[in-house]
């Protein structure tokens, strides 16, 4: 990066908001994948006008520009694989309005997701999207990745809640998409195009989100099953009984064993191969009614035990296995490769059968758990990066997993996006014509291809070769 270009950036944001030191660049070059590439400079603008000026400068000088939210992404989306400028949204962290009459909130993109939950719930309102990372991730990153979470089963993913956006195009133009209204069919649905665009089409600077009234009551229970197949079939039985729970999570034997080792006591009766955690919500009578129907459906599907929670302490106990899972898995292997695959709900038994085949064919430890109501499983390949043969087996298992999921009419990503990490597999799910159409859309937004290059179809072998692992934690 040339000295005049750096001077131009400093002129836009002020010298104190431009960093070129190694520590800042390194920290801004990684996400939760812990494999990254340092940018040449990090800028932290404070206004939409500054962002527009940065974009224009990068567009004119053909310098790569990558937006960074909270950096919790799992697919390298915020990693500047070709260097250039990282644009940190850190200063865009204010809730601008909570409008109870119109059931909406206007936020800057780097508001932490939990901060919005807390603020709206204090007013009797509810923002449903709840990625497990909600204490750290930011709403702009959630919109860019169309983040999901346990509550997506009943409430849908982030997309359902985005009404309007202010965004800066890579050319420096400022646009507003959508409207504050429930209905809006004026022009193309640009808001929907930007949701899930993984920071490749525009820089989000303001987000208008739909809220709903906070549910008055919840009922939670867990159910164990003697086979994973029975548990997976119980998921469909609950839905067919006419209930859509707020969350319906599944843990397999490997996940239950990991948590049991972590907390020092069993999480399910001996002989259990799977656990479902089910939560319904709504008015008090509706929650009681739905819980009764869902427990009956689980019993009918062969549940071997049921634990119902009517107090908040009991509810926490029911959630314990699911909550402790991420920490527990860390004990199984030095690294987990977490794939967020999704299939139509009714094909969950086939997805679990596929995971069993991967365990056997590739001699790997795999824990598969997740949002069963959505058909969205986190398939975690537990690996040791120092074991080259194991890493080769994991790569083969990964390819077989993605091919198998597409054959089951599913998707290679239900939550985390493609980034650079899954770019090699995009062609499994999308045809050449579909990718070419996306490339033409990208060209229309970003004629010089400066915004977040090296992602989706654009990831090259050189991009991947340039990545380095984060140093091990001290
Ligand atoms: C422990 C853990 C649990 C997780 N659980 C879930 C889960 O349950 N569900 C789920 O969906 N995800 C989950 N994730 C993944 C991650 O938290 C989400 O993808 C989240 O939405 C990323 O938000 P972020 O602010 O950290 O974005 P970043 O990682 O900073 O960026 C992600 C992408 O968004 C783009 N971006 C960020 N801000 C903007 C902006 N203002 N304008 C344009 N583009 C932008 C970036 O360029 C990048 O491409 C989890 C991650 C971890 C570490």
pLDDT in tens, 310-364: 788 888 888 888 888 888 998 889 888 999 999 999 999 999 999 999 999 999 9
Specify whether 226 is located in the same domain as 283: yes
Minimum mean pLDDT range among 104-118, 204-218, 315-329, 333-347: 315-329
Residue 472 forms part of a structural domain = no
Residue 340 forms part of a structural domain = yes
Which of 273, 255, 376, 430 has its CA nearest to residue 326? 255
Residue 328 forms part of a structural domain = no
Specify whether 78 is located in the same domain as 142: no
Residue 61 forms part of a structural domain = yes
Rounded Cα–Cα distance for residues 103 and 131 (Å) = 21
Q: Is 32 in the pocket of ligand 1 (CB under 6 A)?
A: yes
| CA of residue 176 to ligand 1 center, whole Å | 22
Specify whether 239 is located in the same domain as 278: yes
Answer with the one of 185, 213, 241 that is the final residue of a domain: 213
Question: Which whole number is the average pLDDT over 466-474?
Answer: 77
- In this predicted structure, what is the pLDDT of residue 452? 98
Residue 467 forms part of a structural domain = no
Residue 20 forms part of a structural domain = yes
- In this predicted structure, what is the pLDDT of residue 325? 87
Strands 85-88 and 65-68: parallel
Minimum mean pLDDT range among 89-98, 284-293, 304-313: 304-313
- In this predicted structure, what is the pLDDT of residue 472? 61
Structural domain boundaries enclosing 412: 333-422
HSE toward the beta carbon, residue 160, CA cutoff 13 A = 14
Specify whether 179 is located in the same domain as 242: no
137 token code pair: 């991730």
In the chain, % of residues over pLDDT 70: 99
Site of tokens 């929907």 = 192
Residue 10 forms part of a structural domain = yes
Q: Which atom belonging to ligand 1 lies closest to the Cα atom of 139?
A: 25
| CA of residue 331 to ligand 1 center, whole Å | 24
Q: Which atom belonging to ligand 1 lies closest to the Cα atom of 414?
A: 11
Answer with the one of 162, 182, 213 that is the final residue of a domain: 213
pLDDT at 243 over 60: yes
**Predicted confidence band of residue 40 (pLDDT cuts 50, 70, 90):** very high
- In this predicted structure, what is the pLDDT of residue 174? 98
Answer with the one of 213, 243, 277 that is the final residue of a domain: 213
CB 2 within 8 A of CB 63: no
pLDDT at 474 over 60: no
Q: What is the CATH number of the domain that holds 341?
A: 3.30.70.2740
- Residues linked to residue 367 through DSSP beta bridges, in sequence order: 380
Specify whether 106 is located in the same domain as 205: yes
SS3 sequence of 156-208: CCHHHHEEEEEEECCCCCEEEEECCCCCCCCCCCHHHHHCCCCCCCCEEEEEE
Specify whether 99 is located in the same domain as 209: yes
Specify whether 440 is located in the same domain as 394: no
| CA of residue 410 to ligand 1 center, whole Å | 22
HSE toward the beta carbon, residue 257, CA cutoff 13 A = 10
Specify whether 186 is located in the same domain as 292: no
**Predicted confidence band of residue 417 (pLDDT cuts 50, 70, 90):** very high
pLDDT tens figures, 440-462 = 999 999 999 999 999 999 999 99
SS3 sequence of 386-445: CCHHHHHHHHHHHHHHHHHHHHCCCECCCCCCCCCCCHHHHHHHCCHHHHHHHHHHHHHH
CB 87 within 8 A of CB 67: yes
Q: What is the CATH number of the domain that holds 246?
A: 3.30.70.2190
Residue 473 forms part of a structural domain = no
Helix (H, G, I), strand (E, B) or coil at 83: coil
* Run of H or E including 449: none
Specify whether 187 is located in the same domain as 105: yes
Rounded Cα–Cα distance for residues 435 and 428 (Å) = 11
**Predicted confidence band of residue 271 (pLDDT cuts 50, 70, 90):** very high
Rounded Cα–Cα distance for residues 11 and 306 (Å) = 63
Site of tokens 């164990």 = 224
Specify whether 77 is located in the same domain as 20: yes
Q: What is the CATH number of the domain that holds 123?
A: 3.30.465.10
Rounded Cα–Cα distance for residues 328 and 125 (Å) = 33
| CA of residue 25 to ligand 1 center, whole Å | 19
Helix (H, G, I), strand (E, B) or coil at 382: strand
Q: Is 138 in the pocket of ligand 1 (CB under 6 A)?
A: yes
Specify whether 234 is located in the same domain as 313: yes
Rounded Cα–Cα distance for residues 309 and 215 (Å) = 17
Residues 6+ apart with CB under 8 A from 13: 43, 44, 45, 46, 50, 54
Q: What is the CATH number of the domain that holds 27?
A: 3.30.43.10
| CA of residue 141 to ligand 1 center, whole Å | 4
Q: Which atom belonging to ligand 1 lies closest to the Cα atom of 198?
A: 49
Indicate the top mutation candidate among 44, 74, 75, 325 to test ligand 1's pocket, ranked by most ligand atoms within 8 A of CB: 74
| CA of residue 198 to ligand 1 center, whole Å | 9
Specify whether 243 is located in the same domain as 282: yes
Q: Is 144 in the pocket of ligand 1 (CB under 6 A)?
A: yes
Q: Is 30 in the pocket of ligand 1 (CB under 6 A)?
A: no
pTM of the model: 0.96
| CA of residue 416 to ligand 1 center, whole Å | 7
Number of domains in the chain: 5
């Amino acid at each position: 990066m040339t000295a005049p270009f750096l001077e131009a950036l400093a002129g836009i944001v002020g010298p104190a908001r431009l960093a070129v030191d190694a520590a800042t660049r390194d920290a801004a070059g990684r996400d939760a994948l812990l494999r990254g590439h340092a940018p040449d400079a990090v800028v932290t603008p404070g206004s939409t006008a500054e962002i527009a000026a940065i974009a224009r400068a990068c567009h004119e000088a053909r310098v790569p520009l990558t937006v960074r939210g909270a950096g919790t992404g799992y697919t390298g989306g915020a990693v500047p694989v070709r260097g250039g400028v990282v644009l940190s949204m850190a200063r865009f962290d204010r809730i601008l309005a909570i409008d109870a009459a119109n059931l909406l909130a206007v936020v800057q993109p780097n508001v932490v997701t939990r901060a919005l939950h807390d603020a709206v719930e204090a007013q009797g309102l509810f923002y449903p999207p709840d990625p497990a990372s909600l204490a750290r991730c930011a709403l702009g990153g959630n919109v860019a990745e169309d983040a999901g979470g346990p509550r997506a089963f009943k409430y849908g993913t982030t997309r359902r809640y985005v009404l309007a956006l202010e965004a800066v195009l890579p050319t420096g133009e400022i646009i507003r998409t959508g409207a504050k209204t429930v209905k809006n069919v004026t022009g193309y649905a640009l808001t929907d195009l930007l949701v899930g665009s993984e920071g490749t089409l525009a820089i989000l600077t303001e987000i208008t989100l739909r809220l709903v009234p906070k549910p008055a009551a919840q009922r939670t229970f867990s159910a164990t099953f003697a086979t994973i197949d029975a548990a997976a079939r119980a998921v469909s039985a609950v839905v067919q009984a006419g209930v859509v729970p707020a969350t319906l999570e599944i843990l397999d034997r490997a996940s239950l064993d990991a948590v049991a080792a972590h907390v020092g006591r069993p999480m399910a009766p001996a002989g259990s191969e799977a656990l479902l955690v089910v939560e319904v919500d709504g008015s008090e009578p509706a929650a009681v009614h739905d819980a009764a129907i869902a427990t009956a459906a689980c019993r009918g599907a062969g549940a071997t035990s049921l634990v119902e929670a009517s107090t908040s302490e009991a509810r926490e106990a029911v959630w314990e296995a699911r909550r402790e899972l991420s920490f527990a898995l860390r004990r199984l292997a030095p690294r987990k490769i977490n794939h967020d695959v999704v299939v139509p709900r009714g094909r969950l038994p086939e997805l679990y059968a596929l995971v069993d085949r991967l365990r056997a064919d590739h001699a790997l430890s795999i824990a598969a758990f997740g949002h069963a109501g959505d058909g969205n499983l986190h398939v975690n390949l537990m690996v040791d990066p120092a074991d080259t043969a194991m890493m080769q087996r994991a790569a083969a298992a990964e390819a077989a997993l993605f091919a198998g999921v597409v054959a089951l009419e599913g998707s290679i990503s239900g939550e985390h996006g493609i980034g650079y990490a899954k770019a090699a597999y995009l062609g499994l799910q999308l045809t050449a014509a579909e990718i070419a159409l996306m490339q033409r859309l990208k060209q229309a937004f970003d004629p010089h291809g400066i915004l977040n290059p090296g992602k989706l179809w654009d990831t090259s072998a050189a991009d991947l070769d340039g990545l380095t692992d984060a140093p091990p934690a001290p």
